[in-house]
Amino acid sequence: MKSFVAVWMWFGRRPVFVFDVFATAVALMVACAVWIFGAERRFVLLTNLKLCFPDRGLLWRYVNGFQHMFIYVRTFLDRAWLWQAGAPDLAKRIEIQGLDRLQALAHQNLATSSDEKRTVKPVIILAPHFLGLDAGWTRLCSELSMVTMYSNQKNPILNNLLKTGRARIGEPVLLSRQEGVRGIIKNLKSGKPLYYLPDMDFGEKDAVFVPFFGVKAATVTAVARLARLTGATVVPCPTFWKRKGIFGGKYVLSVRPALENFPPEDDTLATTQINQTIEALVLEAPSQYLWTHKRFKTRPQGEPGFYGKHH
């Protein structure tokens, strides 16, 4: 693993064209190998696409499924330069659309009637699991001081690499899920926007079953609860990978309008609104959503699973 990381990071320091040729070639080879030999990943991916797009044919699912595999590997390899490049290079390779809107929200000042004391308006950046989410996080960290949560990886070398890479730019705060939400609330109230990934299946705890593309999905209610506790504005910010030429690519992070009338008092209604927002974003780039995650693994009591022996 150490040797692989060393070679990978070495390529990340090469000129852009050299790295792009390397990353594209490797991504294509790995995607082909996983598609042919990675039965479980392929099965989960195609099952999710069939559940979420039942009107699409087999050819569409296979084309988008393979594209997903390729972009998954390609964006993973991009972390070699993402976690080593300086802010000017990051700005060239990762475009932000609507940054002024996000900066205005993050730095919005509210004056009290008594002593004109100024406080910062909390902001939750809604960052669904599109394959460019690490690029979006790193680019935003070069513009704003932010906080996020992370899940510990099983491999200690990879886990350390992820934490170090994500904490490299700016002054971000990284909190593990095991640390709970107190740190998140504290940082939100202090003015650090929260880069939050709301769409993984963590089981029934602190979750409700709401539709995702018409299928009941265990979805955490944290976005609604945090917004309610802190008065935060919720802003969707997907990051997509865009092909550029034969070998190259760039990332585009798009700051969307803040959710209106959010959150409603009912957590189920609020979480349904979150999923509907993510659905609309997925339709813009279906192959770039994290379909290899078992999004529908947790089922309501009495309902059979979708993943069979892979459940």
- Each of the 311 residues of the chain gets a pLDDT tens digit; together they read 778 888 899 999 999 999 999 999 999 999 999 999 999 999 999 999 999 999 999 999 999 999 999 999 999 999 999 999 998 999 999 999 999 988 888 766 444 444 445 566 899 999 999 999 999 999 999 999 999 988 877 778 888 888 888 999 988 999 987 777 889 999 998 889 999 999 999 999 999 999 999 999 999 999 999 999 999 999 999 999 999 888 989 999 999 999 999 999 999 999 999 999 999 999 999 999 999 999 999 999 999 999 986 55
**pLDDT attached to residue 117:** 52
Buried b / exposed e along 164-185 (16+ C-beta atoms within 10 A) = ebbbebeebbbbeeeeebeebb
**pLDDT attached to residue 177:** 78
**pLDDT attached to residue 105:** 84
**pLDDT attached to residue 214:** 97
**The whole model's pTM is what?**
0.92
Burial (CB count within 10 angstroms: exposed 0-12, middle 13-18, buried 19+), residue 205: exposed
